[in-house]
Amino acid sequence: MDIFGIKALLICALIFIPFEHLFAERPQKILRDGFAVDVIYLLFNSFIVKAAVVLMAAGVLGLAAMLVPQSITQAVGGQPVWLQVAEIILITDLGVYWAHRAFHKIPALWKFHAIHHGIKELDWLGAFHSHPVDIIVTKAISLMPVFFLGFSEASIAIFSIIYFWHTMLVHSNIRISFGPLKWLIASPQFHRWHHANQREAYDKNFAGQLPFLDVMFGTYNATGDKVPEKYGVDDPVPSTYFGQVGYPLQPRRQRSNPTASSTEAEG
Ligand SMILES: [Zn+2]
Ligand SMILES: [Zn+2]
């Protein structure tokens, strides 16, 4: 049994590491700072998140069976799988967008999300570097409607695989141009400019997969080919896994990152 997903880790590493070497956006060591902590995120943190999502799904599916008329779930689950997958991506990314924006805007939530922004060198493995509360709340908000509406198991499974690989790709240290598709599909360049620790990047590019949501809601940051100067946050985020998990619960200190306290028109 591979409950911690060690096989998945090896497959992802075998695919991403050579690409990050061949098409590096910036020179970076494979065993960069924080690599070991991120392996804990990938194996242990992801395990906690998976368990929470399975429990949540079971609860929501039970509730949905009682509350949602069968005529709706049968109509939704009876559509072609490709159409269901497209609808799931749109529905979940609307949830991701607004949950993400709330995590930036509300100071108590920002302390959880600051962990993800603590990444100083972006790569595929950094995709897993998030506080469990951050991921579980975001997944609850974004997946709840999907479970309620009765999308088929096959379409949810295909969506999960697409999401898993897409989230690693947008965090990867790969220089790749999406051309005109950059409006439709989130690219590494799009998400890099969410992680940049620079004024023009604060509270921009919240979408997980669909950049046009940021265009629609006024938070899109068009950067062309520009490379961010630096990533990370100014908040005093600890360097160990358990230090990071406990960080949001610590007594309030002076916040130094302007992201959460920004007074700019962000809504
Ligand atoms: Zn963020
Ligand atoms: Zn990220």
Q: Hey, where are the domains in the chain?
A: 6-233
Please give the distance, rounded to the nearest whole angstrom, from the Cα atom of residue 137 to the centre of ligand 2: 16
Pick the more confident residue, 229 or 254: 229
Please give the distance, rounded to the nearest whole angstrom, from the Cα atom of residue 135 to the centre of ligand 2: 11
Query: Please, which pLDDT band fits residue 116 given cuts at 50, 70 and 90?
Result: very high
| Rounded to 5°, angle at Cα 208 from 206 and 212 | 70
132 backbone dihedrals φ, ψ, rounded to 5°? -55, -35
Segment 153-161 shows an average pLDDT of 95
Please give the distance, rounded to the nearest whole angstrom, from the Cα atom of residue 107 to the centre of ligand 1: 13
Please give the distance, rounded to the nearest whole angstrom, from the Cα atom of residue 206 to the centre of ligand 1: 7
Query: Please, which pLDDT band fits residue 93 given cuts at 50, 70 and 90?
Result: very high
Please give the distance, rounded to the nearest whole angstrom, from the Cα atom of residue 62 to the centre of ligand 1: 32
User: What is the per-residue pLDDT across 162-194, written as a single tens digit (0 to 9) for each?
Assistant: 999 999 999 999 999 899 999 999 999 999 999
Please give the distance, rounded to the nearest whole angstrom, from the Cα atom of residue 93 to the centre of ligand 1: 14
**Is there a contact between 248 and 130 (Cβ–Cβ < 8 Å)?**
no
Residue 224: which residues within 8 A CB-CB, separation 6 or more? none
Please give the distance, rounded to the nearest whole angstrom, from the Cα atom of residue 149 to the centre of ligand 2: 28
Residue 254 has pLDDT above 80, yes or no: no
Residue 106 has pLDDT above 60, yes or no: yes
What pLDDT sits at residue 211? 96
Distances (CA, A) of 24 to 127, 129, 144, 184: 17, 20, 37, 23
The distance between the two most distant Cα atoms of the chain, rounded to a whole number of Å, is 55
User: What is the per-residue pLDDT across 211-230, written as a single tens digit (0 to 9) for each?
Assistant: 999 999 999 997 778 888 89
Distance CA 262, CA 105 (A): 8
**Is there a contact between 70 and 120 (Cβ–Cβ < 8 Å)?**
no
Segment 185-211 shows an average pLDDT of 94
